Amino acid sequence: MVKLISIHYFATMKKIVLITGATAGIGKACAEKFAAEKFDLIITGRRQERLKDIKTQLEKDYGIDVLPLSFDVQHKAAVDEAISSLPERWQKIDVLINNAGLALGKDSFEDADITDWETMLNTNVHGLLYVSKAVLPFMLKNKKGHIVNMGSVAGKEVYEKGNVYCASKFAVDAITKSMRIDLLKDNIKVTGINPGAVETEFSLVRFKGDEKTAGSAYDGLRPLIAKDVADTVFYCVNLPEHVCINDVVITCTQQAGTYYFNKNK
């Protein structure tokens, strides 16, 4: 009887995806997409209230389970504590989406703020490393997993005043490539997703609440929306076991690379 119950439990267990930066933009859209596809979710971010609201909404709409974990990815101890105290039922993480990240400022090298640089590197690079290192033991134990790292076109080509944001995303690109090689023996897929302009809270954060400058980033464009990127992530994750998409660059139709745009006049 016990055996039958446990067989039933494992047969009905949903896959688990852990998404960092799920309180807004691309991460939130990933949470919605994976919830609609019946994954259980671990959602993370600093804004607790938002995590709570997203949990309530997605559990109600899709009948899945959502575990919110609030921490700042820049703080290794906080990351370790949150991930290492996951209840056993949540440790079988199938997919990790390393999405939390930000740009701060868009200033020429000599004018840029060093604190902004530090925050970008600590979040986009160190944060991604801390979360990956904390989650990996679970994937190694399961002998499979899929890590999706959110890069950017800014990690493929630098642009004027992009300096350290670009550097942080070049680092993400390098980490993605090297993870894929090092984790090959462990049956863990690693995919890099590199979007161009996506209309989210990204620009508002970058320009520190200046709505006019943030909005003007999309003037004359129909940019990507977060759902476009989430659908792409889901496509990459939902392929057969033997298929691994290594790298995706996705822009809106009016953008090519980091500095060519066909804007409406």
Q: Which residues are catalytic?
A: 165
C-alpha to C-alpha distance for 252 and 90, rounded to whole angstroms: 36
Tell me which of ligand 8X3, ligand NDP, none is bound by residue 258, counting a contact when its beta carbon lies within the kind-specific cut-off of 5 to 8 angstroms: ligand 8X3
Identify which of residues 44 and 251 has a Cβ nearer to ligand 8X3 in the complex. 251
Q: Interacting stretch for ligand 8X3, rule CB under 6 A, among 37-45, 110-118, 148-156, 178-186?
A: 148-156
Q: Answer yes or no whether residue 255 interacts with ligand NDP by CB under 6 A.
A: no
Please give the single-letter amino acid code of residue 145.
G
128 lines the binding site for ligand 8X3 (CB under 6 A): no
Q: Is 153 in the site for ligand 8X3 (CB under 6 A)?
A: yes
Nearest to 117 by CA among 161, 76, 175: 161
**167 interacts with ligand 8X3 by CB under 6 A:** no
Residue partners of 229: CB distance under 8 A and separation at least 6: 26, 29, 30, 193, 195, 198, 250
Binding part of the chain for ligand NDP, among 9-17, 99-107, 134-142, 178-186 by CB under 6 A, reads 99-107
Phi, psi of 199 (to 5 degrees): -80, 105
Q: Of the two residues 63 and 257, which places its CB atom closer to ligand NDP in the complex?
A: 257
Position 117 contacts ligand NDP (CB under 6 A): no
Nearest CA among 121, 136, 131, 128 for reference residue 175? 128
Of 29, 197, 221, 236, the one binding ligand 8X3 (CB under 6 A) is 197
Cβ neighbours of residue 95 under 8 Å, at least 6 residues apart? Answer: 15, 16, 17, 18, 34, 39, 145, 146, 147, 148, 237
Please identify the residue of the shown chain whose CB is closest to the bound ligand 8X3.
152
Taking Cα atoms as reference points, which of 93, 100, 54, 91 lies closest to residue 73? 100
Restricted to residues 152-171, the positions that interact with ligand NDP (CB under 6 A) are 152
DSSP 21: S
Residue type, 265: K
Residue 35 in contact with ligand 8X3, rule: CB under 6 A: no
Size of site (CB under 6 A) for ligand NDP = 29
User: Residue 105, interface with ligand NDP (CB under 6 A)?
Assistant: no
**Which parts of 122-141 interact with ligand NDP (CB under 6 A)?**
123, 127
Measured distance CA(67)–CA(119) in Å, rounded: 26
Binding site for ligand NDP (CB under 6 A): 21-27, 45-47, 72-74, 99-102, 123, 127, 150, 152, 195, 197-198, 200-202, 205, 226
